Each structure stands twice: as C-alpha cells, then as structure tokens.
A = this chain, B = another copy of it.
C-alpha cells in the first residue's frame, strides 16, 4: 500500500542532509526529473502540482514492479519510460531541441549484479531511448551505440519507432527560439565565435530536465537508468553525460546505483557517477557523503547539477548544488516523498 506524504513535497527543505549517515527508512526506488533553476517563486501552483503528480506516477509504477518481486532493472526502465512519455521532462517526448531544430536523445542503463550496461546516444526516432539502451545491454555485445546505427539496431530488435515530430512540444520549440535569439543578440555584441557559442549555446537555464531512476529489488540487486534530450540549442552532435557509463549513470551491487543530472560536461570530466561509487568502495563513504564530495568538486570547477544514489541497504541520497531538483523516493513500505526545491 502506498502512503503519500504530500507535505514533504511542499515544505521539505533539503531533507536529505549532507552527512546524514543514520537513516531509519529503507528506500527502494528514487527518481529525478532534472536539476536547475527551479524556484518556488517562478512556479505556478498548477505547474507545481503537475510535476508532483508526474514524479508520483513514476515512483508508483516503479514501486509496483518491485513490490511484485520484479527486478530493479524492470523497475528503473518502467519509471524512466513514464518520464520519457511525459512532456514535462527533457527526455523522450518533450525533449529540448538542438540548434538545427531536432530532438537528439541519449540514455543509459546499468545493473549492479553483473555490471552489464547499455547506452544509446543521438537517437531521433526511438520512442523510448531507455528501452533501446536496455536492448543494447541485453541483445548486443556492445555497451554504447550512436546515431543511425543505434536506430537501425533498435528497429531490428522490434522497438517502437516514431516520427521525429512525436517528440516536439511547443514549449521546448519556443525555448529553442529564445536561445537562438540570444545567440544572435550576442552575435551583434560579440563577434568572437568562441565566446558567442560558449555563452549562447550552453545557457544554464536550458539544461535541466534529464530524468533518472535508481532501484533496489527483493533479491538485493541494484539498477540505475538515465535519459535526456541534452541541452537546448546543442550543436555538432554533442553528447552529454547521460549516455556515458561512469559519468551520468553507474551501478554496482558492491556500492550503489547512481543517476546524475546537470551540466553534463562537468559530470564527464569528473566521471561523477563512478567516483561516487569509488568513494563508497574505497573510502567507505555513505551515499550522501560521497555525493556531497563529488558535487563540491564539481562546483569548484564551475559545474552544477544533482545526483540520486541508492545502496543495497536502502540508504539513499538525493543531493544537488542547484536551486532545485525534481525528485522523489519511495520506501520499502510504500511511503512516497516528492520534492522540487531546496
């Protein structure tokens, strides 16, 4: 039976405190819907409720899989698919647009028992990139497939393919138009192409929305999954951290399931997800302490974002160094917690 703690969604202030070693609850599944400039002041009550409900749906579905004895791998795929199908998040339907006006999607998945992993990058016609990532893991000897090759593989394996227009939402399209306009404004002010691109393309406002999930099943196996549309106005076939094992996603039964969100380049340069796992393995850190160390390092480098981390004992951390992170978790007893802000 699911018990929903609605208050947690509204009043909670960073309840996953850094260094909170002792945890009375056993968590079995957590999700994020991206980290970034998420401020209560700029959120309407309707939009707030929509996010809370969407995160709750993802948690509820993943929890149902685990409760029925399903694998953590099934659970994370189920939860991420729900968020991919929901246009509120920058993954699957509702993904942000590239500079050329396309939706290029990245996703990865990993299971902790075997260290098997799968990933797709830059795909444009696969309805659920996370399912494609799982298919790469289970039905190929490879970990990472990109572009049209990944799409050919997914089609041959029977995954649902869609017209690229399926991913389009008006809000994201307008987001691209704003970004392009900023680009051209900057082009007037500054003719240095490099500076223009640096400032114009990777606008901090356009990079949140990645989704992810970590889960622990009844057999004690962990799994992690991440899916994204990347950053608005991205160019040149840019690949972020989400499809990169060790950066955006990592999972090992010996340590933890990890999914990251934020400014992908910094998560790649720090191999953020694997570093969290290594701090737990080699320094015996808790999920919260390991996450805090990596996010602090990232912040010093100029990066921002958040992580969700779950170990085999049900210890869980959801940390971020941004204004907010769409996030939620469910305990073994079915207690759901959802939060948006700090």
Contact = CB atoms under 8 A, between A and B. Distances in A.
Nearest to A121: B146
A142 interface: yes
A54 interface: no
A271 B274 contact: yes
A145 B197 CA distance: 15
A194 interface: yes
Interface string A235-252: 111111000111100100
A152 interface: yes
A6 interface: no
A142 to B, nearest CB: 5
Contact of A238 (B145, B194, B198, B202): B145
B278 A142 contact: no
Contacts of A150: 236-237
A153 interface: yes
Given A150-B236, A153-B235, A274-B274, 20 more contacts: A110-B269, A115-B269, A115-B270, A117-B268, A121-B239, A140-B198, A141-B202, A141-B265, A142-B238, A142-B265, A144-B240, A144-B244, A145-B237, A149-B238, A150-B237, A245-B247, A245-B269, A250-B271, A271-B274, A278-B278
* Pairs of residues from A and B, 8 with the lowest C-beta to C-beta distance, nearest first: A149-B237, A246-B271, A149-B236, A271-B274, A282-B282, A278-B278, A153-B236, A146-B237
6 contacts: A142-B202, A145-B239, A244-B245, A244-B246, A245-B268, A245-B271
